[in-house]
Structure 1
């Protein structure tokens, strides 16, 4: 198993996954923390999550990525390089604004960063689907998830510590832009797929054929519903977790940055690698079910923090470690499911559609509704509620066990 992780097709996905994950926290959790410490209202912070709408809507322009390509570096890598360079400049530009003074301008720039990031994701996800061989899919998904989660630690937890103790918010965003530029160097040396799939002959084919191909399959609508529901409980639990730890649980910004994100690094790495190894033994369906249950139960750790009368660093460390471990497991299996569902000819559009659906809960349900649920149930009741929110996805997974097992055959 260790040999497949060092494959020239698998290993670069660690850094490319890092580049894919870096912008998300910068327009969500880290931006949320910045707004929180500058006393932006809870309602405004809740709606600030809508800047990530591009992650949900990216399927709308994914056919363009399938149909057209820059005249260099192949069908997928050219797009990856272009978006990485634009992201480097745009992330650095976010450091020129402040939530308390220029919230609207900063939010608009964050929308642009999210758009570029979503476009990078379209090309990168298609590249992973095209370049990985069948026996490398589980390891590739694990390495991709690990890189993605490492980036969220850097742009989430490390960024909070740097902003609080060393660099300030502006210079922290400048540094994140530099990290993105460095990732582009790996894109330059990453391999091309051994089998080059034929691009759609027209934009019309690029739009219509991927949908016709997917919806001609038995149970297509049920699979789409499963994708929306599978990580919904996690989406609600994480929507305002940073604000919860700072305002409600009483931890400092540096403590949240160190424990909530940086300390979770080891658990994330272990979770992603374990996910790839366990999937190879259990199969896709059993891995999705077991990891999904673990994801749901791990939300109860935040309930324990919420009922504590005084902040406990040990408790937060254990909760964050468990959440990151389970998150790494579940996301590795979920990414493998999405790759298995894609036709390589239309991998950009199909993966974008499927991954965008997975973001529906986080963007349009969890962000706006979490403040309402917290205000009506309180933080302890809210975190118990997130466990029940995860149940419908697990029930759907059980109902369509046969379809999932066919994908893994």
Structure 2
């Protein structure tokens, strides 16, 4: 029998890293259904996030739920931060509908229905009564479902990318759909709440998930990954693989238990335990158990597996190999491909989007509250400034990011996005301090008069100016970051690897939110924005180091080429 050598990780990844041939790629790309499906799937990903992580907090703020409690409820975002714990499950095809719709589309159909139902459950809640258990249950179900949906959408995007629809373009279209959903779930919800109330808003959002169902039905099903290619990553002895698999599962199970148990205790105990104390005591251990330990163990498998023959590497019980292929093979492939560069990649991912994500759940309290430097705006004003004008500015930023990806390249775009994201936090800090810089700037440049011509008062004009800078930067950085992570993922293991990347991006910020709520109550909002800006500086440093690493690697490969 002739032995066929499967493609290496580098070869497969290179297939997803197709550089667009100028802006002309847009004309070819928009002639086929993958781009429309990507837009609708992006919408179905963004809508539940906007409703459950953002708009729900506006409802809670209006119901006079304490800021510290809102911070704890925002821990439903941990389903997104820890999505990699169950990302291997989407490697299997759902029963009953799987044969007709395929693995990816079947998962999407099931999850989109669950999200719609969970939004309906939230609509039945009454937070003003002080009973938050049913609301937390519905929100948690929805968060689990939309985090899992994101895993499937990300895998689909990586798997269907080719020269006609390159990964950079699909990533930008995904961001456009996502931010359009933010407009509907943000400004649309705030305006609609005035007319039909918050329960009606969440019912409407559940109906709008039907757009995601349309996207799923028109999306082509990717070609399944060859199991022979996956089996290539079964390195080392069966005993070592079983030991590493058991250690990883135990570590992930312990971390999940600690986080879920604290959320339950915090929501059912009065007074609630300190999220800050929990994060300080257990946060580093949780990060170590869920990120550092599995990565180190995967590196151990790579090291031990060097020099082993194919027969020595692949023999193991079938069930153990199945679990290994789903859970550890993606990490082993990643560590084997990146080597020492995994440290740099890890640092970049952990810091790049934290500057915006860490304070996201407190945006509505900052805009609508009246303490700690909060701005005290009405729902209608926030709907205009943040969830209408702001989302438009985000879409502008995404468009600029997509243009930059096509014209100046991925790493330049990534660096510019990191710089802008860090700097624009200072605009929000200035607002929290009473606008000592923004106010005189707008007076001196005539911007107050310009906004006034449209009937916009000075306080709202200041907020809109700060949001312009913040959201353009966020849109630009988001487009560059998603494109970078998508290209970093291997097509064979896109679901798990991208889930790990995004989980890392959300992890540190999500863990810090409970403590951040207590910081705001003690020191006000300005201190929060200063911390976010400094975190952004760390991201800039990691982008520069990663760029150097990629340049050195490219030169090494070129020198080794015949």
Matched, 1:27 2:85: no
Matched, 1:359 2:384: no
Change (3 A) 1:359 1:279: same
Q: Which whole-Å CA distance do the structure 2 matches of 1:362 and 1:32 have between them?
A: 17
Matched, 1:227 2:349: yes
Matched, 1:86 2:114: yes
Q: Provide Cα deviations, 1:156-183, integer angstroms capped at 9, x if missing partner.
A: 22112211x2110111000000000232
Q: Which whole-Å CA distance do the structure 2 matches of 1:404 and 1:81 have between them?
A: 38
Give 1:236 deviation, angstroms.
2.9
Matched, 1:246 2:368: yes
Q: How does 1:50-69 map to 2 (within 5 A)?
A: 50-69=75-94
Paired position in structure 2 for 1:236: 358
Matched, 1:215 2:215: no
Q: Return the match for 2:185 from 148, 155, 161.
A: 155
Change (3 A) 1:99 1:311: farther
Matched, 1:179 2:212: no
Give 1:234 deviation, angstroms.
1.2
Give 1:10 deviation, angstroms.
2.3
Q: Which whole-Å CA distance do the structure 1 matches of 2:466 and 2:493 have between them?
A: 40
Give 1:250 deviation, angstroms.
1.1
Paired position in structure 1 for 2:467: 320
Identify which range, 33-42 or 305-314, moves more after superposition. 305-314
Q: Return the match for 2:139 from 110, 113, 125.
A: 110
Q: Provide Cα deviations, 1:124-179, integer angstroms capped at 9, x if missing partner.
A: 0000000111562111111101111111221122112211x211011100000000
Change (3 A) 1:141 1:7: farther
Q: Which whole-Å CA distance do the structure 1 matches of 2:31 and 2:156 have between them?
A: 15
Q: Which whole-Å CA distance do the structure 2 matches of 1:186 and 1:226 have between them?
A: 32
Give 1:345 deviation, angstroms.
1.3
Paired position in structure 2 for 1:338: 485
Q: How does 1:291-306 map to 2 (within 5 A)?
A: 291-306=417-432
Q: Where does structure 2 lack aligned partners over 5 or more consecutive residues?
A: 1-22, 232-321, 436-456, 558-562
In 2, are the aligned partners of 1:17 and 1:144 still within 8 Å (CA)?
Answer: yes
Q: Which whole-Å CA distance do the structure 2 matches of 1:385 and 1:58 have between them?
A: 26
Give 1:306 deviation, angstroms.
1.7
Q: Provide Cα deviations, 1:187-243, integer angstroms capped at 9, x if missing partner.
A: 1011233x5422557233111211110111221132122101111111234331110
TM-score w.r.t. length of structure 1: 0.94
Q: Return the match for 2:403 from 252, 277, 281.
A: 277
Number of equivalences: 406
Paired position in structure 2 for 1:266: 392
In 1, are the aligned partners of 2:82 and 2:507 still within 8 Å (CA)?
Answer: no
In 2, are the aligned partners of 1:14 and 1:147 still within 8 Å (CA)?
Answer: yes
Paired position in structure 1 for 2:450: none
Alpha-carbon RMSD across the aligned residues, in angstroms, is 2.1
Q: Where does structure 1 lack aligned partners over 5 or more consecutive residues?
A: none
In 2, are the aligned partners of 1:215 and 1:221 still within 8 Å (CA)?
Answer: no
Matched, 1:384 2:530: yes
Give 1:374 deviation, angstroms.
2.2
Q: Provide Cα deviations, 1:351-386, integer angstroms capped at 9, x if missing partner.
A: 111111111133111x11222332344223332332
Give 1:404 deviation, angstroms.
4.3
SS at match of 2:381: helix
Q: Provide Cα deviations, 1:292-313, integer angstroms capped at 9, x if missing partner.
A: 1111111122123223379611
Q: Return the match for 2:547 from 389, 401, 409.
A: 401
In 2, are the aligned partners of 1:296 and 1:390 still within 8 Å (CA)?
Answer: yes
Q: Which whole-Å CA distance do the structure 2 matches of 1:197 and 1:19 have between them?
A: 25
SS at match of 2:142: helix
Q: Which whole-Å CA distance do the structure 2 matches of 1:345 and 1:243 have between them?
A: 42
In 1, are the aligned partners of 2:50 and 2:182 still within 8 Å (CA)?
Answer: yes
Identify which range, 57-66 or 313-322, moves more after superposition. 313-322
Q: Which whole-Å CA distance do the structure 2 matches of 1:404 and 1:156 have between them?
A: 38
TM-score w.r.t. length of structure 2: 0.69
Identify which range, 77-86 or 6-15, moves more after superposition. 6-15
Q: Which whole-Å CA distance do the structure 2 matches of 1:317 and 1:323 have between them?
A: 10
Q: Return the match for 1:348 from 479, 495, 498.
A: 495
Q: Which whole-Å CA distance do the structure 1 matches of 2:119 and 2:109 have between them?
A: 15
In 2, are the aligned partners of 1:342 and 1:350 still within 8 Å (CA)?
Answer: yes
Q: Which whole-Å CA distance do the structure 1 matches of 2:386 and 2:53 have between them?
A: 15
Q: Which whole-Å CA distance do the structure 2 matches of 1:42 and 1:404 have between them?
A: 43
Q: Provide Cα deviations, 1:20-66, integer angstroms capped at 9, x if missing partner.
A: 11111222111111111001111101111111211011111111102
Paired position in structure 2 for 1:121: 150
Paired position in structure 1 for 2:326: 206
Q: Which whole-Å CA distance do the structure 1 matches of 2:407 and 2:496 have between them?
A: 30
